Amino acid sequence: MALADDYEFGLLVNDAVDAVIAELDYQLSLEENADACRCHDCVLDMAALALNNVKPAYRSSLVGVIYAQKLYNEDETKNQIEEAVRQAIEKVKTNPLHSE
């Protein structure tokens, strides 16, 4: 009888995730981030840290694609993602998650 049994909540996607990963990919390619750790733990940590500082953009994967694309073309959102990713990379550089 639980709601989760009757509805496919797995269809919920957060478009901020794809946007953050794309921005992370770009910023890690920059010379200034050549020293950032690329291990699995650190890169996922960067993405998680950045995502906690950007506005989520959840939608059902069945509907709402146009709205989400519109959201991510707005300059304010783009700047927010760029800044969140920049800070996340710096944080992980200073405090890498991986164990030595």
Using CA atoms, how far apart are residues 74 and 56, in angstroms rounded to an integer?
Answer: 14
**Residue 64 interacts with Zn ion (CB under 5 A): yes or no:** no
Residues in the chain, total: 100
Q: Which CB atom, from 42 or from 54, has the smaller least distance to Zn ion?
A: 42
28 belongs to the binding site for Zn ion (CB under 5 A): no
Residue closer to Zn ion, measured from CB, 5 or 32: 32
- For the record, the structure tokens of 67 come out as 């709205």
Query: Does residue 42 bind Zn ion (CB under 5 A)?
Result: yes
Output phi, psi for 13, to 5 deg. Answer: -125, 150
Residues that bind Zn ion (CB under 5 A): 37, 39, 42, 96, 98
